[in-house]
Amino acid sequence: MEKKTDLKETLLALETRVWDALVTGDGDADGALLSEDFIGVYPDGIAGKDAHTGQLDSGATVADYRLSEVQVRATGADSGLLIYRADYLRVGKTDWEVMLVSSLWEKRNGAWMNSFSQDTPLTGEGVP
């Protein structure tokens, strides 16, 4: 099992690559990080890998982002839950949005894969 600090750095770097794919509109890069059985729980419903990557069919969805308040919980020898705050600006919008995210990463066949994510919009205090 990786040390907690190493696990946090590893998972944060991977999660950043997912966000970077949203900024560049790179569905292939996004899909390469998601397991085939990926499940996302979002305010508008539950989605699989195809829906996550499909949002990039028309290009980038996020113009800019910042990840903060990062925590990690080891969930097994080869898995961990990354929990963080995401401040982000959607393409074509002027107001930043905030959500709290939990992403489960699992090492499968030697590669880290995101198998689950849940996004919770943050409202009220703490929202820019």
pLDDT tens profile 26-75: 999 999 999 999 999 999 999 999 999 999 999 999 999 999 999 999 99
Residue 68, CA atoms < 13 Å, CB-side half-sphere = 7
pTM: 0.91
CA distance 36 to 50: 9
Q: What is the mean pLDDT of residues 99-126?
A: 93
pLDDT value, residue 5: 72
Biggest alpha carbon–alpha carbon distance for the chain = 42
Q: What is the distance between the alpha carbons of residues 120 and 128, in angstroms, rounded to a whole number?
A: 16
Which CATH number fits the domain that encloses residue 97?
A: 3.10.450.50
- Domains of the chain: total: 1
- CA nearest neighbour of 100 among 44, 27, 55, 43: 43
**Does the residue 70 lie in any domain?**
yes
Both tokens of 11, joined, read 């998972």
Residue 127 resides in a domain: no
Is position 21 within any domain? yes
Q: Residue 59 belongs to what domain range?
A: 4-121
Is 126 contained in some domain?
no
| Average confidence (pLDDT) over 77-102 | 96
Q: Residue 24: inside a domain, yes or no?
A: yes
